[in-house]
Chain A
Amino acid sequence: MTDTIVDILIIGAGASGAAVAWSLADTKMRIVCLEQGGWVKPTDYPANDRDWEARATGDFSPSPNRRGRPEDYPVNDDASPIKILNFNGVGGGTIMYTAHWPRLHPSDFRTRTLDGVGQDWPVSYAQLAPFYDLNDRMMGVSGLAGDPAYPPGKIPQMPPHALGRSGAVWGQAFNQLGWHWWPSDNTAATEAYDGRAKCINLAHCTPGCAQGAKASVDITYWPRAIRAGVELRTHCRVRRITTGDDGMATGAEYYDATGKLCFQAAHVVVVACNGIGTPRLLLASASARHPNGLANSSDQLGRNLMLHPYVSVYGYVDQEVDGNRGPPLSLWSHEFYETDPARDFKRGYIFQIARGAGPVVEATTSFEHGRLPWGGAHHAVFRRLHYRRLNLSIVVDDLPEAHNRVTLDPLLTDGHGIAAPKIDYTVGDNSRRMIHHAIDKARLLLATAGAHDISVVDPIPLSGFHNLGTARMGADPKTSVVNEWGRAHDVKNLFIVDGSLFVTAGGVNPTSTIQALALYIADQMKQRLDTLFE
């Protein structure tokens, strides 16, 4: 099989790789996808067993360094306050996301023009809107239409998740302050949808949905793509993309499930390995013609890493709230999302409103923060904390900075001897000022909700799920890695479709935008098939 040239070789079977595979399948071209991990069975997910909370820090930890599965690659993130998170397998990060489903705002695509920071994207919200909509239909979104934080036209397929006890407390507090809030769009189905069962509030969405209600691409895009003829090869880790004398990509060398080194020739190579894995692979694909890494004549590959600094602010109320009895994220507030000249920072942030914590998370975090005593007082104190936590996360717009970057570690390797990524990242000054503002507002909100014993975790160390910007798109080959429709400036049959493309990060979870971009690029490729390499 591997000596047969295929039309399209996709590397990575996560959010973007799946969307591209499905979209391109209708061309009837021969498409192969190589994925370093395997399929995950719903019966493997932690919510099936009594140790469900513990396994979220074990074999289903979002940290590859902690998880340490054979398909994981280590990440040297010692030089970053935010640690890199991911999941390697069919579905990629969608196996292990909260299903939170915001879009970027129109202003996110024009930050240079509007606010003088970052760069403008080469695409607009209006251009992506049809692909956001298409992706929403494919993934299935639960939510409430009419959110005044977004332009009209965003219509969720299903009703929102329950407001719950926590949501009612939060909503009243927001209303007292006159601030925006809204039930967050969420891809856990509140009704049976496209073969998926409805959510039954297992409340353990992030480390995989045992019910199958959460839209991970292993159960949304991939079954359709495979039925349409795409071949998905699992446990195949790519070590480098090869190029010919003409500088074009010729295919990829990879280790198959037995550890055998193989080669897959291809007319077109599509990289979908996320904002860390993509620069890692392209840097590891350096050659005499591409000495600084493939598609890196601009020296932008791996730079401009944006991680979305997350800050947790939480407190306790006297009445019982939801705890871990519903999807962890319930509401969002975009009150402080857009730039306000009166503030000392540009751009903005959202509040992600959570329902609460389960008993183990409550006990371990309170133990670590010294809130939960040892000895005879332990039980009474725990009962004042259990199911009484109100917590929110602050997600700030992380602007691109060249020194925040992914390089190859000179020593650390994965199980196949491929160099591991090394992360150098600091939280920027604008983000830092934004965080200070947000913490003050969060404290006010919690106090208005009646919370006491308010604590702040700044930043949350294990929050580096949003790995963005390391192969950004743009019209200028000197300042970007790919063009306006995802094709590498340097290699005309190499495409990138994942979060690496982001020009700015916005202040929201990126998966819906990653997939909308992937569908947009696939559409552009289909429209240009006759002139794809010109």
Chain B
Amino acid sequence: MSKAAAPLPAWGDPILSDAEKRSLAALCARMIPASAEFNVPGADDALIQADVAKSLDRDAAAVHRALAHLERLAGGSFADLDIEKQEGVCATLRAEGGPDLTALGRIILQCYYRDDRVMISLGMEPRPPFPKGHTLPQGDWALLDPVRKRGKIWREV
């Protein structure tokens, strides 16, 4: 309703339709399924899907095109295909590649790998870098002794 009233951002419509959301979730389930072994959700998890839906940003137009192409490959609703057929469509999609799939994949992965549960599973603290930062081992600069011993390598002019 409101789309007609407000001009779209330069990067495309940031809102996914309900049908697009269904396709996206089904695609994400094939791409990154949940794992009990690693104690992580799938990329079709509701929180991750909500993050993806609000993160289209500069890639909105590409995401709409990628999802439309997914439906074309599926011959209808990708989400309504059985899993075997979905995997066949995914194989075709990935084999074709292209910038739209790259953009869609990047958004999914950006949201998946900043999810608290996923970061904890990777041994990371679920936080931004600032203000805590990180600590690195200082190391031993005696490792440079062979370089020092060799002497100058710059060219005299």
Contact = CB atoms under 8 A, between A and B. Distances in A.
Chain A partners chain B: yes
Interface of A: 45, 47-54, 57-58, 66, 68, 105-107, 109-110, 114, 124-125, 144, 146, 148-151, 160-165, 167-168, 171-172, 174-175, 178, 180-183, 199-204, 210-211, 322, 324-326, 334-335, 337-339, 359-360, 363-364, 367-368, 374-376, 378-380, 383, 386
Contacts of A367: 105-106, 109
Contacts of B102: 368
B49 to A, nearest CB: 16
Interface string B1-42: 000000000110000000000000000001111010110100
A109 B154 CA distance: 13
Nearest to A211: B130
Contacts of B150: 148, 178, 180
8 contacts: A50-B127, A53-B110, A151-B154, A162-B136, A162-B139, A178-B146, A182-B144, A200-B134
Given A148-B148, A363-B109, A374-B90, A114 B137 contact: no
A167 B139 contact: yes
B153 A335 contact: yes
Contacts of A337: 153
Contact of B106 (A48, A57, A322): A57
Interface residues of B, number: 57
B106 A364 contact: yes
B143 A378 contact: no
Nearest to B91: A374
Nearest to B105: A367
Given A58-B58, A364-B105, A379-B38, A168 B139 contact: yes
Interface of B: 10-11, 30-33, 35, 37-38, 40, 55, 57-58, 87, 90, 94, 102, 105-106, 109-114, 119, 122, 124, 126-141, 143-144, 146-148, 150-157
A469 B16 CA distance: 46
Contacts of A334: 153-154
Given A66-B58, A334-B153, A163 B133 contact: no
Given A53-B114, A54-B114, A148-B153, 4 more contacts: A50-B128, A144-B141, A165-B136, A174-B147
B64 to A, nearest CB: 18
A203 B129 contact: yes
B58 A164 contact: no
Given A106-B157, A360-B113, A202 B133 contact: yes
B157 A386 contact: no
Given A167-B139, A326-B136, A374 B31 contact: yes
Given A163-B141, A202-B130, A374-B31, A364 B110 contact: yes
Contact of A149 (B30, B57, B87, B154): B154
